[in-house]
A and B are shown apart, each in its own frame.
Chain A
Amino acid sequence: MIHFDLLKIGNSPKITTAEDVRADLELDKIIGIASNKDRLVAETWLEVLLLRDSSEDIMRYRQEAVKDALVNREAVQKMYLLAREAIEKARREVFIPRLDDPTLVVYETSKGIEILVDAVEKLLTILTSAKFSSKAFSELMSSLTENIDSEFISSARNIAKILAYGEGIDFSVNIGNYNCLKNPVLLVPKERNSLISKILSIGKEYTFSIDPRDEAGLQVLADIKRWVLSQIATTMLNAYNRLRNFFEDLAKQLSFYIGVINMNDFFEKIGLPKTYPEVNPRKLSFENLYCLSLAISTLSKPTPNTLDSDVDGSFAILITGANRGGKTTFLKAIGQALLLTRAGLFVPAESFIIPTPGAIYTHFLREEERRMSYGKFEDEIRRFRSIVDSLKRGDYILMDESFSSTNPVEASIVAENIVSALVDSGINVAYITFLHDFIYRFTNRYSKKTVLLVPERLKDGTRTFRLVRGFIQPGYAMELWRKISATLSYSTSPSPTV
């Protein structure tokens, strides 16, 4: 059996909140570049980016194939084109509107098999002239050359001829219930009637013809023919489906690499760095990581971010501070890079090291949740709950202003409960939040696991859109109060802390 697997998707389903992740991390922009308006490429990329399962091995397997596809880009493009054209030609010329007309199905599938067998022959030529080195592409090549030879191609063509339109049928049959005919088996026709075989069959054959005016009789005859062909029609249809499925499979798997080629071209055009990520259970580290979707929107290199942090089982990145400082861009950059990493793709950074190839989930504030009400809060909690159901150790959850639909005091308690539980369960969290109680208590309790980031501001107040490490400053507000009071020479009793 022909076997190849350029993607190693396995049985992985989509992550449960795939649509949220897709929207929150602006995947459509990334996919838009990869697909260059090819719908199949877009579908495949979306699928691969949002798979629930991945592993370091799968990641490496794809990385190798990605590199291979970039080296052999012409062969990949030719094979993809061939597969797509073969499918398209079959779709145009093979017309099977219904499955209850065996005669039609047999004729049409004969035609289809002929078209696709021609394409198989061409595919072999392209493959054998390329120089693939990755496991994925080598397997495709060896499996095809082992299973397809010229004998297969001529036998398949011969069958298409036997069953072509206008040929007679020859079958064996038994007598069953109510003396009806049963178990028809279509047979390979005997050689054309020679004079000798005619003489030999005298007395051994009972022949009759249906009067052309006997319309009912002719209808019965056509029906018998359909009946006999129905069994082989299923076989032919499934043979044709196997062939078509082969090309569809091939096209789908190759489409991922067509996206790779397109994305590579985009990186080169913009001048984004390209790195193949690594996994190190004790590290979360990246250098000049760019937000890909922002680069696509602006067609330029946005401000990159750098981070180097040790990881002990799991981590929490808390991001806080002034708006429009690049917080959300940072969160998206990480999320996108994580997704690209799991898919085996290169990432827009100088280097990218992550502790696990876990799945990525997002819980971003929705505009309609910005108003405070317990109803909204319950919606938010419900949405969070649906994510929790699928979280596993080593996964990542990216949160943007979660739990802002209730007052910060109780939201902090909720957030502290939830985030502590996540981190203690080995889930990695990156969370943009303004919940001060939460940030204060959490960073104190989880100082070793937490990175606090704030937008950078230069001394003169300029925003750099870069995030830097921030620090908790207890009593800072009081301090500030006092300071400003002093500056203004205004004396009050200590005001209640906020």
Chain B
Amino acid sequence: MEYKSILGERGRAVDEQVLYDLRISELLEDILGRERDEFLRSLYLEPLNNEEIAVFRLNVFRDLMRNEVYNAVENFVEKIRESIDYIELEKEAYEQHKLGLHLDAALSYIEAVESFYNDLKVLGIRSQGLLNFLNYLQSIVESRSFRLMKERAYEAKKARDGIKIRVKIIGNRIKVRRYDEGEDLSAIIKNLFSRFKEGEVEEVKHIRVTSEMSHIHAAILEGAFKFYRKEYEILKRFMEDFQKIVDDGVMRFAKEVKFYLTYVRYMKKVMQPEYLFTIPNFTCDGSINVKNFYNLLLLRSGRVVHNDISTDGVKRVFVITGMNSGGKTTFAISFGQLAYLSTLGLPVPATEASLPFFTSIMTAFPAREDPRESMSRLEQDITKALKILKQANSTTLVIANELFSTTTSEEGFQLARLFLSELNRKRAYCLFVTFIPGVASIDFTISLVAMPSPEDPMKPSYKILPGSPPSEYMAVRIAAKHRLLYNHLREMLR
């Protein structure tokens, strides 16, 4: 039976600029933690080309988000890794230790495969990915070669467990003999001093500074095997008869499934009652309905605000305006990240997420003014916009942040209208962050506004809600507070 990848298929490499603008690299640092596996990292940088694979992966997540399933898989991967480590160690070891390492590799592997198979069988898994692997495991467990290996490994372990020797070290001389009897000195001491109440309990640690598998150990084993001939033969024959231990398909699964384990671990770290993850649901009518999404990166430094975004799919361009530092860009980036994660087939940070499967995500963020760059910033903005328009289609998501801001607002408005009309015509999706309020009243757009805090209108609430851009401005409100608006002044000067 052939192993079918738990990943479905691989995707294509993500655009570097998107990676940077949406701060995906930083997000990956959080997700991967200390994991330095390049293969694993590359999987997170490959958006999928089709929806079915994303759904295939999300279904695996549905299973793995149950603790029992997650624990079983993690345990399995851990044991397979152990087994592979033993085999690696064997290469360098003395003959007497090789026998042991090989046996332990087999024992770990047998235990891993069997217990995982038995666990998985009864856990009621539903994803195609895990079901495929379950079938594959069944074919292994039921094979004659596996059963035979198990029988012989147990026999060898039993033989080894029966070995007990007495060793005496005097100066640099070592004497080994079969153990017959002896009095445990430690027990005598414990008993003798137990009449005194327990003092500070300390543990003396032995930190090994030399190998546990040295030539001295090999020599002691040599002595032991002299008195345990039969046991030695059993160990030796096991190694000769079962040279290959870990199945190739199992090895690949252990490597690939880390994609899922890593993310589940990350979700567990993030999740609290108010910060949840959900399996995204891909819509085919073009609608978006995402509830309570939040920014994973900001969560590192404390509490973050939740926001919603929705459309029935007729209007696809969102224009975000409102107070300074009100969370507009964060809102756009958070949604961009969420969309990106969904295209990898990953659960997303929200309580509910229905959205189209985006075949491409593009960004247009302001470039830093660079004197060496021959183009002005406005030129660069327009270039970006046009490049995006060239590629955009009805499954494109564009995240644009303060584009066209280095010109008059009237011109900026005109450019924005052009850009957005084009996107709209192509039925692409866009989140357009701007401080030009007029853009929000273009008829095919959905206007979202960064709201002030209800307690203190001078402070942001970081809530982004549907509505018209504010007619009243903060600076005006401050002037009013100090009675400096027209009517106040009139009244005072009367």
Interface of A with B (CB < 8 Å)? 1-3, 99-100, 102, 105, 147-148, 152, 155-156, 159, 162, 168-181, 185-188, 201, 204-210, 212, 216-221, 223-227, 230-239, 241-246, 248-249
A236 contacts which chain B residues (CB < 8 A)? 189
Contact B202 A99 (CB under 8 A): yes
Tell me if B125 counts as interface (CB < 8 A to partner A): no
On whether the beta carbons of B100 and A175 are closer than 8 Å, the reply is yes
Q: A171-B166, A180-B217, A242-B196 are in contact. Are A233 and B204 (CB under 8 A)?
A: yes
Which residues from B are CB-within-8-Å of A207?
173-176
Is the beta-carbon distance between A232 and B186 smaller than 8 angstroms? yes
Chain B residues within an 8 Å CB radius of A148: 195
Asked if B100 and A217 sit within 8 Å, CB to CB, the answer is: no
B192→A180 contact, CB < 8 A = no
B183 at the interface (CB under 8 A from A): yes
CB-CB < 8 A to B227: which residues of A?
206
B173 engages A209 (CB within 8 Å): yes
Residue of B at shortest CB range from A186?
Answer: B185
Question: A172-B179, A238-B199 in contact; A181/B220 too (CB < 8 A)?
Answer: yes
- Since A175-B221, A209-B173 are in contact, a sample of 11 more A-B pairs with Cβ atoms closer than 8 Å, ordered by chain A residue number, is A159-B188, A178-B97, A178-B101, A180-B97, A187-B184, A210-B173, A217-B216, A219-B209, A221-B169, A238-B198, A242-B199
Q: Which of B156-164, B377-385, B390-398 contacts A (4 or more CB under 8 A)?
A: B156-164
B:74-124 near A, CB below 8 Å? 86, 89, 93, 96-97, 99-101, 104
Residues of B within 8 A of A188 (CB): 182-185, 188
Tell whether, in the assembled complex, residue B177 and residue A238 are in contact, meaning their CB atoms are under 8 Å apart. Answer: no
Q: Does B165 contact A (CB under 8 A)?
A: yes
Q: Is B211 an interface residue (CB 8 A)?
A: yes
Contacts of B230 in A (CB 8 A): none
B81 to chain A, nearest CB (A): 15
Shortest beta-carbon contacts, A-B, top 4: A179-B100, A245-B199, A241-B199, A206-B223
Do the beta carbons of A239 and B200 come within 8 Å of each other? no
Interchain CB contact under 8 A, A239 and B189: yes
A486 → chain B closest CB, angstroms: 61
Decide: A174 and B96 in contact? CB cutoff 8 A: no
Docked-complex contact B177 and A201, CB < 8 angstroms: yes
Closest to B102 in A: A178
Whether B172 and A209, one on each chain, are in contact in the complex, defined by CB atoms closer than 8 angstroms, is yes
Determine if B215 and A100 form an interchain contact, defined as CB atoms under 8 angstroms apart.
no
**Is B37 close to A, CB under 8 A?**
no
Q: List 23 A-B contacts (CB under 8 A).
A: A2-B195, A99-B203, A100-B204, A102-B204, A156-B192, A159-B185, A168-B169, A169-B169, A172-B165, A173-B167, A174-B163, A175-B161, A178-B89, A178-B212, A185-B186, A208-B174, A210-B216, A217-B215, A230-B204, A232-B186, A234-B203, A239-B193, A245-B198
Task: Give the nearest-CB partner of A188 in chain B.
Answer: B183
Which residue of B is nearest A241, CB measured? B199
In Å, the complex CA distance between A360 and B166 comes to 64
Q: How far is the CB of A10 from chain B (nearest CB, A)?
A: 15
Asked if B192 and A152 sit within 8 Å, CB to CB, the answer is yes
Contact A178 B104 (CB under 8 A): yes
Q: Name which of B93, B164, B196 has the most chain A CB atoms within 10 A of its CB.
A: B196
Contact B86 A187, beta carbon cutoff 8 Å: no
Question: Are the CB atoms of A147 and B195 closer together than 8 Å?
Answer: yes
Tell me whether A235 and B172 are in contact (CB under 8 A).
no
In this assembly, does B208 line the interface, its C-beta being within 8 Å of a C-beta of chain A?
A: yes
* B104, B183, B206, B212 interface centre (most CB from chain A within 10 Å): B206
Q: Mark B338-374, 1 if CB is under 8 A from A, else 0.
A: 0000000000000000000000000000000000000
A99 to chain B, nearest CB (A): 5
A168 to B185, CA, bound (A): 14
The reply to whether A185 and B184 contact each other, CB–CB distance below 8 Å, is: yes
The verdict on B492 contacting chain A, using a C-beta distance below 8 Å, is: no
- The residue from B169, B200, B217, B220 contacting A241, defined by CB atoms under 8 A apart: B200
> With A179-B99, A186-B184 in contact, do A224 and B169 touch (Cβ < 8 Å)?
yes
Q: B195 to chain A: closest CB distance in Å?
A: 5
Q: Across the interface, do B193 and A234 meet the contact criterion of CB distance under 8 Å?
A: no
B335 to chain A, nearest CB (A): 46
Q: Are A231 and B192 in contact (CB under 8 A)?
A: no
A6, chain B: closest CB distance, angstroms: 14
Instruction: Tell me whether A169 and B168 are in contact in the complex, defined as CB-CB below 8 angstroms, given that A100-B207, A206-B227 are known contacts.
Output: yes
Q: Check B186–A186 contact: CB distance below 8 A.
A: yes
- Least Cβ–Cβ distance between A206 and chain B, in angstroms: 4
In angstroms, Cα B207 to Cα A102, docked, is 9
**Does B100 contact A180, Cβ atoms closer than 8 Å?**
yes
CB neighbours (8 Å) of A237 from chain B are 202, 204
Pick the most buried of A99, A180, A212: most chain B CB atoms within 10 A of its CB: A180
What is the CB-to-nearest-CB distance from B90 to chain A, in angstroms, rounded to a whole number?
9
A-side contacts of B207, CB under 8 Å: 100
Inter-chain contacts of A243 with B (CB < 8 A): 193, 196, 199
CB–CB B160/A179 < 8 A: yes
Instruction: Answer yes or no: B252 CB below 8 A from chain A CBs.
Output: no
Q: How far is the CA of A177 from the CA of B182 in the complex (A)?
A: 24
Given A1-B194, A179-B160, are A208 and B223 also a contact pair (CB < 8 Å)? Answer: yes
A100 CA to B203 CA in the complex, in Å? Answer: 9
Given A168-B168, A239-B189, decide whether A179 and B97 contact each other with a Cβ distance below 8 A. Answer: yes
For A222, the closest partner residue in chain B by CB is B210
Complex formed: what's the CA distance from A201 to B175 in Å? Answer: 11
Interface check B214, CB cutoff 8 A: yes
A181–B93 CA distance with the chains assembled, in angstroms = 15
Chain A residues positioned under 8 Å from B211 (CB to CB)? 220
- Which residues of B sit under 8 angstroms from A227, Cβ to Cβ? 206, 208
Asked if B197 and A2 make an inter-chain contact with CB atoms under 8 angstroms apart, the answer reads: yes
Smallest CB gap from A210: residue in B: B172
Is B213 among interface residues, defined by CB-CB distance under 8 A? yes
Nearest residue (CB) in A for B165 is A173
Question: In the complex, what residues of A have CB within 8 A of residue B219's CB?
Answer: 208
Q: Does B178 contact A (CB under 8 A)?
A: yes
